[in-house]
Structure 1
Amino acid sequence: MPSNTDIRPTRLEYLRTKKRIKIAKKGLKLLKLKRQALILEFFSISKASSRLRGELNAELIKGYQSIRMAEMIDGEMRLENEAMKIPQLKKLLITPKNVMGVKIPRLEGGRREESLTDYLLEIPVSISEAMKAFQEVHKIVLDVAEKETTLRKLLYEIDKTKRKANAIENVFIPRLESAVKFITFRLEEMERDTFAMLKTVKRKMEEREKKKVEATVIAN
């Protein structure tokens, strides 16, 4: 934003600056609405994340209990041997998705190349239950990771939007309004100067006309 000395005190500049103020206020309103929407989305996802963390803790307890049970029933060696036979997981894919204008990484994949259904039928029930429990843990961990990443990105966007709104509201718009006041003052000042100059010219013309009349009267 230029200083007052760089502002051209013209009617066109006045209209242009007023238009910029109008646009800036509209943009400020949109930024505030966006920030409000982001905050609502943040709390919604935060609530979901908190619920998932509770589920994760419950599933972890269940998973470790099922492992201890499997060790007691089938032995540690059998448990380790069966664990080595579990099919490998697919490669985890990270794809972007849009949440309130914010790009969030979406976690996809992480599943096994082949179903465990047939495999689980061939092993002891205790070990099968342990595997099922940790399958659920794996799923919830991915969901929690996605939600936590979303929360961090939303928080960053909320802060960035707030800073933009504050800059427009407390710096940009006041400067434009100051420029309008300066232009208005200079236009009024120029108008007064022009009016005073016209009065002076009119007075001098009247005096000149009066002298001509007097000179004519004297000559006659």
Structure 2
Amino acid sequence: MSGAPDREAVFPTRQSLGIMKAKLKGAETGHSLLKRKSEALTKRFREITRRIDEAKRKMGRVMQIASFSLAEVTYAVGGDIGYQIQESARSARFRVRTKQENVSGVLLPAFESYVTEGNNDFGLTGLGKGGQQVQRCRETYARAVEALVELASLQTAFVILDEVIKVVNRRVNAIEHVIIPRTENTIKYINSELDELDREEFYRLKKVAGKKQRDTAAADAEIKAKKAARAAEEKGDTSGPGDLLAAEEDNDVIF
């Protein structure tokens, strides 16, 4: 029926009622836990959104300073020194390592930049002229890369949290608007059916008790009637002559 409430197809028994009540309790507990998880993830999501905005503003300023610093190097050296940088580089000193952060059961990757110890491959770059500008440009671009690594870490966490929050919210809505109402409707249905069975059983017991009372009353009446008949017979037997030889009055016989 289209107007019937949404419920599970179960047989209305006491055992089914207990199972549905346990399921409802589990659904309510799960809904509470997922709700708290969603709130914690949403709070962290907003914090990451704020930090991304700050990191982007910081990156814009740092990249602007780095561009000016590179222009100073080009002006001081008198040309492009990119080929010198590429030839001087042996191995990367600026590296990135990853770690994981647990936020309400969700593992978020975090990137961290660090500089390895070793010889400076660019120590002789700009030795003739512009050495100061080259060193300042190098430090400025190092800060720019650190800002980029931080922004990449925040954006990665942002994407992961966005997907996880959507999944958790879908589960919360499913439990709140589908599972819990369906289970409650099932419990109401089982209770109504059990109440109806109890009324039918009470009516049956009442009819059985009434029939027993009628049968008992009839049996009592029959017993009383038999006792009365036996008493009447005994009374009739005792009302006759006690002496058989006593003279009795004979009625006249007319021929």
Q: Tell me which interval the TM-score lies in, with the shorter structure as reference length.
A: 0.7 to 0.9
* SS of alignment partner, residue 67 of structure 1: helix
Which contiguous aligned blocks of 4+ residues in structure 1 show a shift greater than 6 angstroms? none
Gaps of 5+ in 1: none
Higher relative contact order (CA 8 A, sep 6+): 1
Count matched residues: 218
Give the letter aligned to residue 101 of structure 1: G
Cα deviation code 1:50-95 (max 9, x no counterpart): 1111111111111111111111111224453145313422664444
> Considering only aligned residues, what root-mean-square deviation do their CA atoms show, in Å?
2.6
In the TM superposition, residue 19 of structure 1 has moved relative to its aligned partner by: 3.0
**Structure-2 residue corresponding to 1:183:** 190
Give the letter aligned to residue 133 of structure 1: T
**Structure-1 residue corresponding to 2:158:** 151
Hey, what's the Cα distance between the residues in 2 that align with 1:201 and 1:186? 22
8 Å CA contact retained: 1:97, 1:103: yes
Gaps of 5+ in 2: 1-5, 230-255
Between structure 1 and structure 2, the one with the greater Rg is: 2
Tell me if 1:31 matches 2:34: yes
* SS of alignment partner, residue 91 of structure 2: coil
Change (3 A) 1:45 1:107: same
Hey, what's the Cα distance between the residues in 1 that align with 2:158 and 2:11? 44
Hey, what's the Cα distance between the residues in 1 that align with 2:177 and 2:124? 64
Between Structure 1 and Structure 2, the one with more helix by share is 1
Hey, what's the Cα distance between the residues in 2 that align with 1:72 and 1:118? 18
TM-score in terms of structure 1 length: 0.87
**Structure-2 residue corresponding to 1:105:** 109
In the TM superposition, residue 41 of structure 1 has moved relative to its aligned partner by: 0.7
- Aligned equivalent of 1:167, options 174, 177, 180: 174
8 Å CA contact retained: 1:89, 1:113: no
TM-score in terms of structure 2 length: 0.76
Residue pairs, 1:1-220, within 5 angstroms: 4-10=8-14, 12-89=15-92, 92-108=96-112, 111-112=115-116, 114=118, 116=120, 119=123, 123=127, 124-219=131-226, 220=229
